[in-house]
Structure 1
Amino acid sequence: MTETHYEFAEVEGGVPIKSWTRGVPVDDKAKAQLAKAAQMPFIFKHVAAMPDVHVGIGATVGSVIPTKGAVIPAAVGVDIGCGMMAARTSLVASDLPDNLAGIRSAFEGAVPHGRSAGRGRRDKGAWGEPPQGVVDAWTTLAVRFGNIVAKYPKLKNSNTVVHLGTLGTGNHFLELCLDQDQRVWVMLHSGSRGVGNAIGRFFIELAKQDMRMWHINLPDEDLAYFPEGTEHFDDYVEAVEWAQDFAALNRQVMMTHALDALRSQIAKPFDATCEAVNCHHNYVTRENHFGEDVLITRKGAVRAAKGTLGIIPGSMGAKSFIVRGLGNADSFESCSHGAGRVMSRTQAKKLVSLDEHIADTVGVECRKDEGVIDETPRAYKPIEKVMAAQSDLVEIVHTLKQVVCVKG
Structure 2
Amino acid sequence: MKRAINGNDLLSIGYKPGTILGLAIKTASKLKDLPFNEATALLKKVKDYPENFLDDEIMEPLAAAMIEAANAPADEVIELRNKMIAYTQYGEKYIEEGATKQMDIAMKLPVAVAGALMPDAHQGYGLPIGGVLATHNAIIPYGVGVDIGCRMALTIFDIPDNHFYGNEAYYKRELIAHTKFGAGHGFHGREKADHSVIDNPDFNANPLLKQLKDKAYSQLGSSGGGNHFVEWGIIEFEQKDEFLNINKGKYLALLSHSGSRGFGATIAGYYTKLAKEICKLPQEAANLAYLDMNSSEGQEYWLAMNLAGDYASACHEVIHDKLSKAVGATILAKVENHHNFAWKELYQGQEVIVHRKGATPAGKGIMGIIPGSMTAPGFLVRGKGVETAINSAAHGAGRQMSRSKAIKSISKDEMRKVLQDHNVMLIGAGLDEAPMAYKDINMVMNAQQELVDIIAKFSPKIVRMADDGSRED
Task: State whether TM-score is above 0.5.
Answer: yes
Deviation at 1:128, TM superposition (A): 2.3
CA contact (8 A) 2:198 2:217 kept: no
Contact 1:173/1:405 (<8 A) preserved: yes
SS where residue 350 of structure 1 aligns? helix
Counterpart-to-counterpart distance in 1, 2:209 and 2:164: 49
Residue 40 of structure 1 aligns to which amino acid in structure 2? L
Alignment partner for residue 160 of structure 1, among 210, 216, 236?
A: 216
Report the equivalent of 1:242. Answer: 307
Q: 1:128 aligns with which of 188, 195, 199?
A: 188
How far is the alpha carbon of 1:159 from its aligned partner? Answer: 2.0
Amino acid aligned to 1:42: V
How far apart are residue 12 of structure 1 and its match? Answer: 5.7
Alignment of 1:184-199 (within 5 A): 184-199=252-267
Q: Could you tell me which residue of structure 2 aligns to residue 211 of structure 1?
A: 279
Shift of 1:97: 4.7
Question: Where does residue 374 of structure 1 map in the other structure?
Answer: 432
Give the C-alpha shift of residue 148 in structure 1.
Answer: 3.0
Trace 1:259-338 onto structure 2 (pairs within 5 A): 259-263=324-328, 270-272=329-331, 274-338=332-396
CA distance in 2, matches of 1:336, 1:136: 30
- Residues 314 and 258 from structure 1, CA distance in 2 versus in 1: closer, same or farther, beyond 3 angstroms? same
CA distance in 1, matches of 2:82, 2:404: 33
* Structure 1 Cα separation of the partners of residues 374 and 293 of structure 2: 41
Matched, 1:137 2:202: no
Is 1:313–1:337's contact at 8 Å kept on the other side of the alignment? yes
**Paired residue secondary structure (2:125):** coil
SS at match of 1:55: strand
5 Å-filtered alignment, 1:6-405, equals 13-22=83-92, 25-44=94-113, 46-115=114-183, 123=184, 125-129=185-189, 131=191, 134-141=193-200, 143-149=201-207, 152=208, 155-156=211-212, 159-180=215-236, 181-212=249-280, 216-217=281-282, 219-263=284-328, 270-272=329-331, 274-362=332-420, 363-367=423-427, 371-405=429-463
2:345 maps to a residue whose letter is E
Distance (whole Å) between structure 1 residues aligned to residue 209 and residue 444 of structure 2? 43
CA distance in 2, matches of 1:185, 1:355: 29
For the residues of structure 2 that align with 1:97 and 1:148, how far apart are their CA atoms? 51
TM-superposed CA distance for 1:26, in Å, is 1.6
Contact 2:115 2:390 in 1 (8 A): no
Letter in 2 for 1:72: I
| Runs of 4+ with deviation above 6 angstroms | none
Percent identical pairs in the alignment equals 31
Under a length normalisation based on structure 2, what TM-score does the superposition of the two structures give?
A: 0.75
1:78-97: CA deviation from partner (whole Å, max 9, x where unpaired) = 10000100011000111125
Relative to structure 1, the CA distance from residue 154 to residue 32 in structure 2 (aligned partners, 3 Å threshold; closer, same or farther) is: farther
Distance in 1, matches of 2:313 and 2:209, equals 24
The 3-state SS of whatever aligns with 1:316 is coil
Tell me the SS of whatever aligns to 2:112.
Answer: coil
Cα deviation for residue 157 of structure 1 reads 6.5
CA distance in 2, matches of 1:61, 1:12: 24
The answer (yes or no) to whether the contact 2:198–2:213 under 8 Å persists in 1 is: no
Q: CA deviation at 1:359?
A: 1.9
The separation in 2 between residues aligned to 1:211 and 1:21, in whole angstroms, is 33
Alpha-carbon spacing, 1:153–1:160, altered in 2? closer, same or farther (3 Å): closer
Structure 1: how far apart are the matches of 2:202 and 2:182?
28
Relative to 1, partners in 2 of residues 1:153 and 1:251: Cα closer, same or farther, differing over 3 Å? Answer: closer
Q: Match of 1:244, as an amino acid?
A: G
- 2: CA distance between counterparts of 1:313 and 1:153? 32
How far apart, in 2, do the equivalents of 1:99 and 1:355 lie?
26
Task: Provide the rounded CA distance (Å) in 1 between the counterparts of 2:195 and 2:438.
Answer: 38
